[in-house]
Chain A
């Protein structure tokens, strides 16, 4: 069921349906995610056996979205209809989204410092690839009525390109920023320059804490009741603490060990401290952290958009 047909729990989460038709050829995860997003947007989506079948359909689609690693890519068959090719791994190479994690640098920062590299969950690389595919398809609607507009013949999106793009930007590896990326267990290497950044044990689970400024660190200390050690000048500079956490870490951990996830979230809400418990999806659903109407009565998640009109 598309978003525009689903109840939003009293909030308006509706997307006005677009007027466009797309065809899907092949069935890797990325192209099916793209199809799913196009359906969410209200587009008419149909499956086809081949690019040729799709392009020659009675109602010509605005674009054909293709599973790159599952289909014979003969663009001459498209007879002028743009083809959007989505790859679960790499342009021109079959594979899965986990491979994209492996070659992009993302895996290199997931895991224990002396352990094996990890991968992103929930086939997220393929999900992102699919959303880009849908977005690029929807973008074609904007200029279809312009007879002078050039139309692309072929668009490619791969999970590896998506993750490389995000990882390079995040790491600043290309940008003169010292490359600090490596596996470091539950915390970022040198806390990303400001103490703390990572996940820490607490009484009944884990808590994420991420400071970006002196104010953030002060709010975190406030949430922990400003323990006596925090009065020391050396303990008040989160930039210095990030360079050497050997003294602060056991003191900080001891405070967290005394508190439950609920207590820490309540303290974060009261003080504005940037910290929150690590919740499973089922816990997140019951902790009242989302806006009304995010999940429907059957527990399915709606899209993360609430829409409001201007007051007259």
Chain B
């Protein structure tokens, strides 16, 4: 199945941390791109310790930083390169690598790459055809450019959150736990990344695309049903959606049903059906609603059904990590010929790909590569003394 992956032959450099940027890198890698993730021993992706924060002091740092299953999921199929971007020779190595790459993705704070001497002008000198995709919070021309661009801040400002209301009271409740802005940014970013690669391949010229995560979630916050109806009409396709209205009701058993009502059903009839369904048990209610032309599903709320149970839908795929061993990671949300995106390699241990990138791709001699790994060894000894 790997041979059918559409992005085989594309090389991407990832300078991203935490969730949205690495998730975009994961999508690209799952689609077949060679994604090289750049970190440094003293400054690595914070998600390397997600979920193992409380292990601090119980394991040496060079072990703990390889223990996060969340990091393993987001960074599978990537190659890990350890470089200190504040050091001249390492910066030159990155520029040399950019000379052989199609796309750089980054989510540093605005201005960081320029301060490092790695802004788009420098990248374009190294490779006029390289594309740079920045996943910025607000965009460097925004008056909010220096604010912290966390997901909840972005979705609040964008107009997205007021659309999330308590189904019983109609009051604003928002989504403070499932923060939609991060995965939304990765999803929009994938569109930017693929169109960017296509553009560079077609024109031989690169550009710098700056995506505002705030604008991306604002774009998603807009209901587009009327535009979709117009589009369907212009394509000569049927234009009525099966359902325009959903609601949530509590059954007698205490479980909740999410109901999609048939288009055109009168408000009063819907209320009557809801009241009647609420007075009976779940399965009976589903049958009753189905007879009335409404579809429904049970709202799943138990952790056991959402976690381990999710593997029944193929949400989780098995992996073997060199440090933590056998574990399950989250699959990409698509199926190609009935298969999830293949796991070609586990998430990189820090610096794991240095020999491949510096030695094979950039022709660094063994002693120069060894120097980098010695720096890590010195840090390890320092951290365990």
Residues of A within 8 A of B (CB): 11, 15-16, 18-19, 24, 26-29, 32-33, 35-37, 39, 41, 45-47, 69-70, 89, 91, 94-96, 98-99, 101-112, 115-124, 127-128, 131-132, 134-136, 138-143, 149-158, 160-162, 164-177, 179, 181-182, 184-189, 192-193, 197-199, 206-210, 212, 216, 219, 268-269, 272-285, 287-292, 294, 301, 303-311
Partner of A273, one of B148, B208, B301, B303: B148
Tell me the nearest residue of chain B to A173, going by C-beta. B307
Once the chains are docked, how many angstroms separate the CA of A105 from the CA of B208? Answer: 37
Task: Give the shortest distance, in Å, between B12 (CB) and chain A (any CB).
Answer: 13
Chain B 73-93 interface mask (CB, 8 Å, partner A; 1/0):
110000000000000000000
If A108-B299, A117-B248 touch, whether A308 touches B178 (CB-CB below 8 Å) is no
Residues of A close to B307: CB separation below 8 A: 168, 171, 173-174, 179
Determine chain B's interface SS by DSSP, over half rule: mixed
Q: Which residue of A lies closest to B218 (CB)?
A: A284
25 A-B contact pairs sorted by A residue (CB < 8 Å) = A18-B202, A26-B237, A36-B231, A47-B237, A98-B258, A105-B178, A119-B164, A135-B27, A135-B191, A138-B195, A139-B194, A143-B9, A165-B333, A166-B333, A167-B178, A167-B306, A169-B183, A173-B307, A184-B176, A208-B157, A212-B150, A291-B215, A304-B212, A306-B141, A309-B208
B333 A161 Cβ-Cβ under 8 A: yes
**Is the CB–CB distance between B195 and A15 below 8 Å?**
yes
Name the residue of chain B whose CB is nearest to the CB of A142: B6
Write out the residue numbers on chain B whose beta carbons fall within 8 Å of the beta carbon of A179.
303, 307
Whether, in the assembled complex, B357 has its beta carbon less than 8 Å from a beta carbon of chain A, the answer is no
C-alpha spacing A208/B181, complex, angstroms: 13
Residues of chain A lying within 8 A (CB to CB) of residue B260? 95-96, 98-99
- Structural contact, B162 and A290, CB atoms closer than 8 A: no
> Does B237 contact A27, Cβ atoms closer than 8 Å?
yes
Set of chain A residues within 8 Å of B138, measured between Cβ atoms: 289, 291
Closest A residue to B241 by beta carbon equals A29
Q: Is B198 in contact with A141, judged by CB distance below 8 angstroms? A: yes
Residues of A within 8 A of B4 (CB): 149-152
Contacts of A162 on B, CB cut-off 8 Å?
Answer: 333
Contact yes or no, B222 A281, CB < 8 A: yes
Bound-complex Cα distance A288 to B205 (A)? 33
Q: Are A118 and B165 in contact (CB under 8 A)?
A: yes
Are B150 and A136 neighbours in the complex by a CB distance under 8 Å?
no
Q: How far is the CB of B325 from chain A (nearest CB, A)?
A: 12
Say whether B143 contacts A288, CB under 8 Å: yes
By size class, the interface of chain B is: 35 or more
Residues in chain A near residue B52, CB distance under 8 A = 176
Distance from A190 Cβ to chain B, minimum over Cβ atoms (Å): 10
In the complex, which of the residues A174, A278, A291 contacts B161, with contact meaning CB atoms closer than 8 Å? A278
Q: Which of B164, B195, B227 is in CB contact (< 8 Å) with A41?
A: B195
Q: Which of B193-245 contact A (CB under 8 A)?
A: 194-195, 197-199, 201-203, 205-216, 218-225, 227-228, 231-232, 235-239, 241-243
Pick from A101, A212, A291: contact of B141, CB under 8 Å: A291
